[in-house]
Structure formats: structure tokens, C-alpha cells
A and B are shown apart, each in its own frame.
Chain A
Amino acid sequence: MRPDLLSRRARRRSRAGGYRVSELVSQVEEVRREWLEYAFATEPADRSTAEAVISEFYAIIGRPPPAFEWVGSPAAVRADIGSAAGDRVAVEFATRTARVRDRLERDLRPWGLPGEPGERTACPATARSFVDNMVHGELRRVVREGVVAVVAAEAGRSAVRWYGQHDADWVGWHDACARLLGTRRSPRDEHFLTLWTTLARSCGWWWPREGVCVVAERPESVHTEDWRPHSADGPALRYPDGWSVHAWRGTRVPAWVIEDPTAERISAEANIEVRRCAIENIGWEAYLDDAGTTAVGRAPDPGNPGCELLLYDLPRWDRPSRLLLAVNGSVERDGTRRRYGLRVPPWLDDPVEAAAWSYGLTGPQYAQLLRRT
């Protein structure tokens, strides 16, 4: 985000609060980049550090250090660990963490009273909301809703578990608030948060249980596109034990979508998201070719000389639709023009009418198109 994207009012307010937004922006970006690096780290876990931190967590809830069990991936955890919903340690630790997080978040409020009674935070609401959006919001979107979501979907449900490096969203947020806004909290909470920060830099997911703690390694490779899990050739995440997750632009997909997408498999697939990803992977044109569909209509593309609009019937998936296949107005890097598919209502028989519909125009109106870039 560029500083000049802030409204004039926000800039004025933030100056009044003692923060120069332009300075804050680069600092915030630096902290965020640091936390993204932790979240996407692919080195083997720092086992001794992780074990020391987790032992200290056990000490905080009055338990002796547990036995440690290391697994190669989040899917390798034993079934009895994953389903131990009523485990005392799991519950007590979750409660303790929730309580601390609650306090930390209360302290963050601009009208909160951290530190000495009566002393107000020196953190104006604008700078706060800025850190909230750029650090907490971004990390939550990228890490929690992006990476954790696809890995958890593949690994399956589990009773209380924590995410180590992938707890970066809330841990990194509190870290950013302390470093950039000078938020203060009690020494006990500070210590608790430091432990979380250290753990986020050392290991993957973990399952605290009575007497035993299972900890997973970090993935050994992660592929993304615009920070979303994505790989067009192979798994997006691969763990040291060989377990892997396939993802297409942030959506978890079965391996065939990436490795061997065919029209037959696409037509048989019930899940529309999976179908969309597979079609994106092979392209509408290849899909239609492969499926042996014939065009129900074709016409010259107005404003796009030498190019054709093609209209196809789609298999009756969810809503009856037709597909309009059009050609981009500008060339790709390799000199070709990309074809793209648009779903249109099934009652449109004329490709020009269909293209017109996509812009809310009538066929004769769209036929007047002078240029497409």
C-alpha cells in the first residue's frame, strides 16, 4: 500500500497523533515481511528451542515437561491425539492462551489503560487501525485463511491444536504493536507472548496433551502465487515425510487437478470450485476441445478484427449456462492472444448478443464496438 492512498483526513489525523504515516508504512511493511518469512519458513524445525518453549508452557499451567513426539507433517499425528477433545492439558492451555490474548487485545484499544493506572496509551486510533489492517489483516488473510485453511482441509479435523509458524497472524500482530506503537503490557503477558513468538520461529503445528506433546515439522517446500498457495506443477506444500497438499490459486484441490486434468474428470467432478480450478489449469479452449463440444454459434468479434466469438453449450452442472469463448484484445508476452471463457445465460443463441449481455448492452449496441484492447 502506498502512503498516498490514505485519505487526506487520515493523514491529518495521523500527524496529529504524532505518527508520520509515511514512516510507519515502511516500518509496518518490514515487520510484516519478517512475519511472512516465519510463516513461510521451510527449514527443519529448531527442535531444542521448540521443546524448551513448550516445556515452559507446561510449567505455566503447572505441569512437568511432556515427552516429545516429532512427526513429519500435520497429517501424521496419531488418531488418539487428534481426537483427544477432553484432554486436561489441551483445555487448560487453550483457556490460558485465550485469557492472555483477551487481555492483550484489551490493552491494544486506544482508550485502554496499559501499564500504570491512569496512563493512557500513546497510540492514536489511526496508527492502530493501520497496523491492524496491514499486519493482522494481511497475515490472517495470507496465513490463516490461506495456508492454514488448505493444510487443515487436507489434514482433516483435529481436537485442540496450535499452528507454530502459522500462528503468525495474531502473534505477529502483537509483536508489531509492541514494536511500532509501543504498546505495553504486564511482564507476565509479555513473557507469555515472547514464548509464542519464539515458537512461531521454530516449528510447525503442535498438539499439547497430558504427558505428551506432538510437534510437526515445517513444510520443506511451499509454492505461492500472490501469497496464495499455488503450484501448476506438483504440490503447493510438501512436508518432509512426503505428505503434500495441492492447491490452485489458494483453493485446495485433489492431485489430479494439477497433475492430470482431463475433460472427462472435470465433467464428472461434483465440486464446482475444483472444476473451476481444473478448467483454469487446462484452459477453456482445451477443455471444450477435449470434451468434444461443438460450438452452437460463431460470429466475428466487433472491435477485435480477425477474431471470432464462439458460443458453446456447457454440461448441465449446476445452473444451465452457455459459454462464450472470446479472444483478448491485446497480445501476451509470447505474442499469442489468450482466449477466455465467460459463462452466459442459456437463452442467448447469438454470440454477439452474449458478449453484449456481459456488458449490459443489446446485440446491435455491442455491434458498434469500435475497438477492444
Chain B
Amino acid sequence: MELAQLLDRTGLTVLDHLELQVAIPVIDGLQAQGDLIIIPRALVPVVTEDSWARWSPVPRAGVELVRGANGANPHTLTADPGTCEWTIHVHEPLRLAIALIRNTAPVHLVHPEHGGTGIAPGEWVVRRQQERGTARFRSTSTLVCD
């Protein structure tokens, strides 16, 4: 699918300097979009879903996985109806994982600055990116917001 088609179908937009007539590859493996990374679930067994996890269908109009620091620039996950479910009820000690995805057909991740990317059928963990914190005596890290 081309980016232009994807935007047509979902009603999402990207910045106008991005190439629209370019085929979006569907990736079956580890991939990153800005400050998010999509990880095959088998690669990170440390990430578990909560026992009360509720999975919701992902509509064509998409669900926002995360928004940028200024409230703009969301990473939006979009899928054909009935092909993809997601949940935010996810647990891991690092606290980087924000969602789990399971899909039976390719789904797409769209971002205004980064464009679109395809995710092959499978089970995936969505993680955010961390940065070393600056507080002197605490060993905390902060999340990256681009």
C-alpha cells in the first residue's frame, strides 16, 4: 500500500513534505518509529499482560498509542476492522512497554513526521524510549517525547 492510500482510508494526515507515492513496507520483526519501538513479543518474555487485561479492537480510524510532549504528533495504530486488537494493560519491570498488539493481517503505524510503516501479523510489544535522568541521587530515567 502507498502512504497516500493509507491516509485516504484512515483520514489521518502527515506533514506535506513527506513522500506520499511511496509503498509502505510491511515489516515482520523489530522496527522503530521515532521514540516508539515495535518488538516481537517472543523477544521480550519479561513483558506480560495483566490478568485483567482487556483487549479492544483497533478501528480503521486508528487508536493513538502515544502523543508528543506538546500534545501533538501522535503515533496512531490503524487496522482493517476485525484484524487487530490492542491492550494497554501490560506489565514489565522497566515500565517502557505501553501496549500489546495482536493482529491477523498487516496493520499500520502512522505519525505526522515519520510517515507510515506496516506491521506484519503477529503479537507485538510497543515500548517507548528512555533517556538517562539528570537527578543526581536518583537512578531514574525519563521517557523520550519527540
Interface string of A317-341 (1 = CB under 8 A from B): 1110100000011111100000010
Q: Chain B residues with Cβ under 8 A from A329's Cβ?
A: 32-34, 114
A24 → chain B closest CB, angstroms:
20
CB-contact partner of A319 in B18, B127, B132, under 8 A: B132
Contact of B136 among A318, A331, A343 (CB under 8 A): A318
Is residue A78 within 8 Å, beta carbon to beta carbon, of the partner chain?
no
Interface residue ranges of A316-373 to B (CB < 8 Å):
317-319, 321, 328-333, 340, 342-345, 357-361, 365-366, 368-373
Is A303 in the interface zone, CB < 8 Å from B? yes
With contacts A272-B134, A303-B32, A319-B134 taken as known, whether A330 is within 8 angstroms of B27 at the C-beta atoms is no
| B14 nearest CB neighbor, chain A only | A330
Query: Closest approach, in angstroms, between the C-beta of A247 and any C-beta of chain B?
Result: 15
- In the bound complex, residues from chain A placing their C-beta under 8 Å from that of B132 are 319, 321, 342-345
From 57 to 104 in chain B, residues with beta carbon under 8 angstroms from any chain A beta carbon are 70-72, 92, 94, 96
Report chain A residues within 8 Å CB of B53: none
B contact residues, total (Cβ < 8 Å): 39
Q: Within 8 Å of chain A (Cβ to Cβ): is B13? A: no
Closest residue on chain B to residue A335 by CB atoms:
B17
Residues of A within 8 A of B130 (CB): 357-360
A226 at the interface (CB under 8 A from B): yes
Chain A binding site: helix, strand, loop or mixed by DSSP?
loop
Given known A-B contacts A329-B114, A340-B146, A342-B144, A370 and B135 have beta carbons under 8 A apart:
no
Compute how far the CA of A361 lies from the CA of B30 in the bound complex, rounded to whole angstroms. 11
Interfacial chain B residues near A372, Cβ < 8 Å: 31-33
A351 to chain B, nearest CB (A): 15
Q: Which one, B18, B31, B37, B144, contacts A330 given CB within 8 A?
A: B18
Size bracket, chain A contacts: 20 to 34
Q: Is the CB of B131 within 8 A of A373?
A: no
Query: Hey, what's the 0/1 contact readout for B114-130 against A, CB within 8 Å counting as 1?
Result: 11110000000001011
Is B127 within 8 A of A370, CB to CB? no
- Chain B nearest Cβ from A355, distance in angstroms: 9
Q: Are B37 and A359 in contact (CB under 8 A)?
A: yes
A274 to chain B, nearest CB (A): 13
CB <8 Å contact, B135 and A371:
no
Closest CB of chain A to B39's CB: distance in Å? 7
Q: Are A303 and B135 in contact (CB under 8 A)?
A: no
Among B3-34, those with CB < 8 Å from A are 15, 17-18, 25, 27-34
Contact of A371 among B43, B113, B117 (CB under 8 A): B117
> Which residues of chain A have a CB within 8 Å of any CB of chain B?
226, 272, 303, 317-319, 321, 328-333, 340, 342-345, 357-361, 365-366, 368-373
Between-chain CB contacts (< 8 Å), 24 pairs = A317-B134, A318-B134, A318-B136, A319-B134, A329-B33, A330-B113, A330-B114, A332-B17, A345-B132, A357-B130, A358-B130, A358-B144, A359-B96, A359-B129, A361-B43, A365-B43, A369-B31, A369-B32, A370-B28, A370-B29, A371-B32, A371-B117, A373-B34, A373-B116
B residues engaging A (CB < 8 A)?
15, 17-18, 25, 27-34, 37, 39, 43-44, 70-72, 92, 94, 96, 111, 113-117, 127, 129-136, 144, 146
